[in-house]
Structure 1
Amino acid sequence: MLENSIGQYAAVLNSDFIAIVIVKDRQIVWANAALHRILAYEPGELIGQPTRQLFLDEKSYKTFGSEAYPSIAAGRTYNGTIPQKRKDGSTGWYEFNVSSLEGYPDMVVGAIIDRTETYQNVQQLEKSESQYRSVVEDQTEVITRFLPDGTYIFVNEVFCRLFGKSAADLIGHHWHPAAYPDDVPMIEARLRELTPDNPVVTIENRVFVANNEIRWMQFVNRGFFDAAGILKETQAVGRDITAEREALASLQTSEERYRTLVETTCVVTWFCPATGLQVTPQPLWMAFTGQTAEEMLGAGWTKAIHPDDVAAAVERWQSAVENGKAFSNLHRIRRFDGAWRWMNVRAVPIRNKQGHILEWMGMGQDVTVQKQAEMALAESEERLELALMGSGLVLWDWNIPERKITVGSRWFELLGYTNQELGGDEDNWMGLINPKHLERFKQNISAHLQGETASFESEHQLRHKNGHWVTVEAKGKVTYRDKNNAPLRMVGTILDITQRKRLKDEGMDLLKRIESLIHESSARTPVKAETGKAAESLTKRQRQILGMIATGMTSAEIGKQLHLATPTVISHRRNLMAKLDLHSTAEVTRFAMEQGLLTK
């Protein structure tokens, strides 16, 4: 009979979205499948259950009864959205349309639609709006929106408090009066930079706040454009940066003081933890290099080292830190103005009583002037050495009061000794002079030291490390004297004249031998045809060697001049004499004269 009564609802009995329920004496007597599904019950499980179990609590149950049943009794349909408890304990929101069941005044029928998702969306929207209002109204940053002509269309509460105005006082008016007049042209120019491709511009400018005080503000301005790329409005989010500006000005003043100190003393001091990495700003380093605190921290200091020097500097520093030993290095550091300065850098570990390193203390001294002088001196000495090398001269410098002698590098090449073997002691050098020449040497140098001669000249022999004598021509002159005319410094040169001396000593004898050979040759029969043919077969090098032998040069001297090994020259000499049937130097000389082989 109940089914016949609700037959008019047959179209919705099995609806997927409308749930049907019939209640008598506040107990469910019938419910369709949709109701069981949305409340998470098994089919038929709700039949016979009291409606109370679907309500969240007694209060909501009584509230529904006090509103719904009087309306139904008056013949009206009750409509409302009510939270209901599902079988699993979760809560859903449902729209109820409840009326009396026709023919059964003690029963009511309800059509129920699940509105849970809609309700949750509304709740989320309200939450988002609340959060937005919190962001806009409760944060410390000022927020405003204005039209392209500068007219305010929105200001948040923080903005109003900062400038001591109400929203009504500000909306519809321009921002210009709040901005410091000198900054307005700059602000307007920056705002004109807003484009669809560049929608955000950050501006720092001064403003007049509530008490007419001038404050620095930073505004992040975002432009909003229509589809045609036309600016419709701008939103600005600002914060007070007065304290930061003042700190920056103070820091700049501090840096200027440090920079003045660095430039005056040419010294940079610093410290760092035992790790060797910077963790705190170093004012003197920052003043000298121009690096910021962020740039220098950690191993950032290496970026101020010259590219050619950084690898060695880093390697030495890491080695010092790992081994706990003092650090010392000479390298170039880029100064704040971009100039490279030579710095003598030293650092030592500071230890506690247990020997553990607490920190490193370092100091860098600008030695650019000294380094440049050393480089210029080295360059000058190199040029002088090259010039002397071309002339065959060797330089010497005598510090007379200290009895120390400094010589050029070619001295050691000349005599075969090393710098460590001879050193700079005057006695060591005097000990090289041939005793036969020592007295005459001392007389010549004494005469010059006493001012009796304009310069010093001496021809004497020096002992080579290998034991033979090297004949030299020495010249020098006193360059400094004290106020009493006592000599302080003497500079001079020597020239190896061994070969020239030998040729001079042997010249006359050689000429006599040549004359004798000429006379002897004129009285002899012509050279054998076989010998002449052999001479024609000689190579250019063989003819050259024969000519040198004829002048009296030794095999070693020939080898040095021709860049040949001495044994090679000896072999050439032996083969040539056998080939030409020559048995003595005299015969070689005669042959060379006859064939025109004598060297010029």
Structure 2
Amino acid sequence: MDQAFAQENTNLKEVEKALENQLKITNTITDNATVALFMMNDKGFCTFMNPAAEKMTGFSLAEVQDKPLHYFIHHHHPDGSPYPMEDCPIDRALPTNNNVRAHKDMFIRKDGTFFPVSCAASPIFENGVPVSTVIEVKDLTEEVASEKALRESEEKFRFMAESLPQMFWTTRPDGYCDYYNQKWVEYSGLSMEELYGYGWIEIVHPDDREKASAAWRKAVESKTDYQVEYRVRRADGKYRWHLTKGLPRLNEKGEVIMWVGSTTDYHEQKSLVEELVSTNEELAASFDREVAASLQVETQRQMLHDLFMEAPALIAIQRGPEHVYELVNPNYQKLAPGREFLGKTVEEAWPELKAQGFFDLLDNVYKTGEPFIGKELLAKIDRHGTGEMIDTYYNFVYQAFKEDGKIVGIVTFAFEVTDLVEAKQKLQENKENSSK
């Protein structure tokens, strides 16, 4: 009998040791889990919290044991309305014997702040009697913030792409066009569905299609810049000359992940060159070189590499009713290379423009939200800080932008057309002189 008792005692110690080891393993798992773990009894009172749960909520287990857990971390909606415990799917999991999976909700920390979570609740029964609920909670704050940042980035990209004066596009690595801005629809009269893919080829002049397609195929195959001029059919059936340039975006392995580009109407410039050739060969040749040089610079500016900072246009963002410069791209800075813009109001940055009406235009756009489009407008500026006022001309757009539905600033997109205006003036002089 003594031997049997000793054997039973040995077996009991082995069981106790196994249970201790299992408890250590369980504690290790719960203490080091990255998700928050709670356990509630059949009354909804918290009976267990792991360290991750205490860190997430700011409460200790001792602080949440005098009433149901719901009334500590889930008692109100973010809009301030009460959240009755009987409406909570987590608390209803046990009495309804219902497993809750991937339930998105908002919890409340000890300091009163709300945070987004994903929850799973599993009821536990013993002999058919509901005894407790195990709850797993993941804090989604960073995930939600990342999703919001991604949405804002996409919205900002689309806003900038739709605000550009040019026809902007992007393609997949193989050259399939997967995005056009609204300017394409307005100009061509085609729908987005008709343009997607290689629909742009259909509105290129038949005599220019092979040249345009061949240049595009070569660029895609060689991963090099794409630049070509061709005539594009307008919605009224007329063809106008356009200059198209595309750049490949590469990843760290040197692989093309997308193409970005723009197609710019320069029909007037090209027509002007042809007219100058017919009236004054020497002037036309000189002007042709100037236009070619200007186009080369403009095409370099026209790509939306990194959107604003690499844009082809002169771009600036002014925020608030005082129009404080928040961003200027390198092309805008070139208007006055030695001048400081960031943090200054438009009036502080451009005192010489105060009497020229531009500030009133900005105020009106900020007040009404209606964009202003200027064509070949004169601006007298002290470009080099020498006190010498220079006549310059611009095609530009003042476009208001909103945050949370409220106008908060203005985006300026502009192109300097001084050379074009001066050439037109010279052409007019030549015509007047030849008629005398």
What is the TM-score normalised by the length of structure 1? Answer: 0.35
Return the index of the structure with the highest Cα Rg: 1
Higher helix share: 1
What is the TM-score normalised by the length of structure 2? Answer: 0.46
